[in-house]
Amino acid sequence: TGFKHDYAKIKKLDSGKFGKVYLCEDSVSHEQFAVKRLKKEMFKDTKNLRQLYNEVSILRKLKHPNIIKLFKIYEDNATISLVLEYVPYGNLLSRIQKRIKFTPKEVMTFSKKLFETLRYLHSQGIIHKDLKPENILIASSISDCEFKLCDFGLACYVDKSLRSKSGSPGYIAPEILRGNSYSTKADIFSAGVIIYILTSGIPPFYSKKSEKVMKKNKDCKFSFSKNEFKGISPLSIQFINELLNPDPAFRPTAEQVLQHSWIHLACCSES
Ligand code: ADP
Ligand code: MG
Ligand code: MG
């Protein structure tokens, strides 16, 4: 038996940097899965190949309702296939691009779940390192903010000093860009960028030129424009500002965020 025997390919869902993601069906049960196929030739140097196995081993370890489930792995000389839980409503980036506005209540509900997920991840000693809307999959057709976090391709353990400067421009924590040591606080920064975008509809570090995005991101230069943040409560703005603190020492942990009064509004706000 092999992958081709066990599954039928239905369609391509998306392509990432190193491989493609397909919707597949189990030949026997007809259950649907998302399969991330990674071509080993894309990971030629040994450092990258190690990173590839890292994604598999980290994902294998994790068990949380808001983290994508890995069911099975197939490997041959050329490819590695990750059989993943299929999340059918696209990713958060496509939702943002459709400009379906998030209400303040939705932003709060989403944020609470995101920080609960990060609290779990960080308690396992793992940093995701690539939090961004493409890597957050929408798990429900109604807007109840159900999501699954995916793509542990850059994830690493806190205690291993993997000093790679990897991440995504516009989302990466400034201490990583500056070549300093980093911790789970790096994920808090990226979560802050996501919440800034959901709240205002615009990214905090923006320019048409990608080098300029990097520069603003590294210098942590952003503001709360009057127009886009019109009607947003001062508490929300203060909260986002704390998440985007350029100094990780002053950024809250996921646990501290969950104690924040802004998050507590998520449980009782009616608006
Ligand atoms: P890469 O490491 O190349 O960025 P990802 O794991 O992020 O790969 O997957 C790329 C894209 O494929 C995601 O942004 C998402 O749109 C889609 N995708 C990934 N996993 C799933 C899944 N389990 N269900 C549905 N779509 C998925
Ligand atoms: Mg990705
Ligand atoms: Mg990846």
The whole-number pLDDT of residue 138 equals: 95
Q: What angle do CA 233, 234, 239 make, to 5 degrees?
A: 100
Q: Whose CA is nearest to atom 26 of ligand 1?
A: 87
Q: Is the CB of 172 under 6 A from ligand 1?
A: no
pLDDT band at 255 (very low <50, low <70, confident <90, very high): very high
pLDDT band at 271 (very low <50, low <70, confident <90, very high): very low
Q: Is the CB of 149 under 6 A from ligand 1?
A: no
What is the spatial distance between Cα 266 and Cα 128, in angstroms, rounded to a whole number?
24
Average pLDDT over residues 16-25: 90
* For the CA of 18, the nearest atom of ligand 1: 3
237 CA → ligand 1 middle, Å = 31
The whole-number pLDDT of residue 105 equals: 87
Both tokens of 137, joined, read 């999959």
On average, the pLDDT of the chain sits at 91
Q: Is the CB of 87 under 6 A from ligand 1?
A: yes
What is the spatial distance between Cα 200 and Cα 36, in angstroms, rounded to a whole number?
32
Average pLDDT over residues 95-108: 85
Q: For the complex shown, is ipTM > 0.85? A: yes
The whole-number pLDDT of residue 54 equals: 87
Both tokens of 26, joined, read 């189990």
Whether the model pTM is above 0.90: yes
Hey, which of 24, 86, 150 would you mutate to test ligand 1's pocket, going by the most ligand atoms within 8 Å of its Cβ? 150
Average pLDDT over residues 169-191: 95
Which ranges constitute the DSSP H helices of the chain? 3-6, 46-61, 92-97, 104-123, 174-177, 185-200, 210-219, 234-243, 254-259, 261-268
Handedness of CA 195, 232, 105, 87 (dihedral sign): negative
Is 144 annotated as catalytic? no
- Per residue in 30-85, pLDDT (tens digit) is 999 999 999 888 777 777 778 788 899 999 999 999 999 999 999 998 899 999 99
Neighbours of ion ligand 3 (CB under 5 A): 151, 153
The whole-number pLDDT of residue 19 equals: 81
226 CA → ligand 2 middle, Å = 32
The whole-number pLDDT of residue 224 equals: 97
Both tokens of 65, joined, read 């309702």
Instruction: Please measure the distance between the N-terminal and C-terminal CA atoms of the chain and give it in whole angstroms.
Output: 54
Residue 161 has pLDDT above 90, yes or no: no
Q: Is the CB of 137 under 6 A from ligand 1?
A: yes
Q: Is the CB of 68 under 6 A from ligand 1?
A: yes
Average pLDDT over residues 239-259: 97
Provide the 3-class DSSP secondary structure of residue 171: coil
Lowest mean per-residue pLDDT among 34-48, 211-225, 243-257: 34-48
The whole-number pLDDT of residue 162 equals: 57
